[in-house]
Structures are given as structure tokens and as C-alpha cells.
Amino acid sequence: MRTRFIALILTAFSLAGGAANEAQAQAQTFTQGWVEVDIAIVLVTPVPSGNSVFCFATIGTTETGTSGVNSQSDTGYTTATVTAGSPFSTASCKVSIPYGWMLATPTSDTMAASYTVTIAATSGTTVVRSGDHSFPNIPLPPNGVSHVFTANTEL
């Protein structure tokens, strides 16, 4: 009798937990948008022949709720356009990142963004110089709205 009672209680908790998880999963909303990371670079380090300037950017959000952690992220990359100059050359790049995430609390979530700029060989793994940077978190843009992050850096 005691074993059945314990089994009944465990079954009830299991069913209630499953119903709560299903309700939370149904409450998620598909949130989409587009982010552009515009980076202007002053090249204090000369770019060796056969090398290029590469830009990488990552965006993401993390929700922490009763069912655990829901992390979403997307990444984009491009090769920068280099312009010779005196005394320094400059480079610029626009990294476009479309995203679409299932989120439970999109109106209160924030978006994190970071970027890396690297001078490296176009073939092989030789890195001349690289820098990583982050932007302050922003409120997650409303569904379907784009956002532009702008940065100035030296490399």
C-alpha cells in the first residue's frame, strides 16, 4: 500500500511538471530581426602583403526561467575594405546578422553583442594582430525591427 501511495505521488509530480513545461514551451514567441555591426578601423599595424582584415560579430540573448536557461546566438563575418592612407591606413566593415529566436520573455530580454577584428593571412592560420570588443547590452529590439551597432577601433 505504501509503495502505491509513493508511486501515485511521484506520478502526480511528474505529470504536473510536464504540464508546466508544456505551458511554458507554448508561451514562447518567435522573435526575429536583423543586426548590423559597423566597424571603422584605424590600422596602426601595417597589413602585410597576402593578409586581410577580417571582422566577426556575435549577438545573443539568455533567458533564465523556471525551466532553466534558454540561450540564443548568431554570428556573422566579413572581410573589411582597406583604404591606404597617411600616416595610417583605414579599414571598414559591415557585418550583417539576421536572427530568429524562440523566446519566453522577449519584451524584457536584452541583447549582447561583441566583435573581433583580425589581421591575418588569407590562407593559413597566421594572425598578425587581433582585438576583441563588446558593446553594452541593449533591450532586445521589437519583433521585426533592425538595430545597428557602431564601433571605432585601432588595430
- DSSP for 33-93, written as a single string: EEEEEEEEEEESS---TTEEEEEEEEEEEEEEETTEEEEEEEEEEEEPEEE--SS-EEEEE
Q: Which pLDDT value is given to residue 148?
A: 97
**Cα dihedral 68/114/52/97 (nearest 10):** 70
For residue 24, give the 3-state DSSP assignment: helix
Report the pLDDT averaged over residues 45-61.
91
Topology of domain 29-154, CATH? Immunoglobulin-like (2.60.40)
For residue 117, give the 3-state DSSP assignment: strand
The pTM for the full model equals 0.77
- Residues 22, 25: Cα–Cα separation, whole Å: 5
CB neighbourhood size of 45 (10 A): 14
Q: Is there a contact between 139 and 155 (Cβ–Cβ < 8 Å)? A: no
pLDDT digits (tens, 9 = 90+) for 103-148: 998 988 999 999 999 999 876 668 899 999 999 999 999 999 999 9
Q: Is there a contact between 80 and 52 (Cβ–Cβ < 8 Å)? A: yes
Higher pLDDT, 36 or 64: 36
Structural domain boundaries in the chain? 29-154
Q: Is there a contact between 95 and 57 (Cβ–Cβ < 8 Å)? A: yes
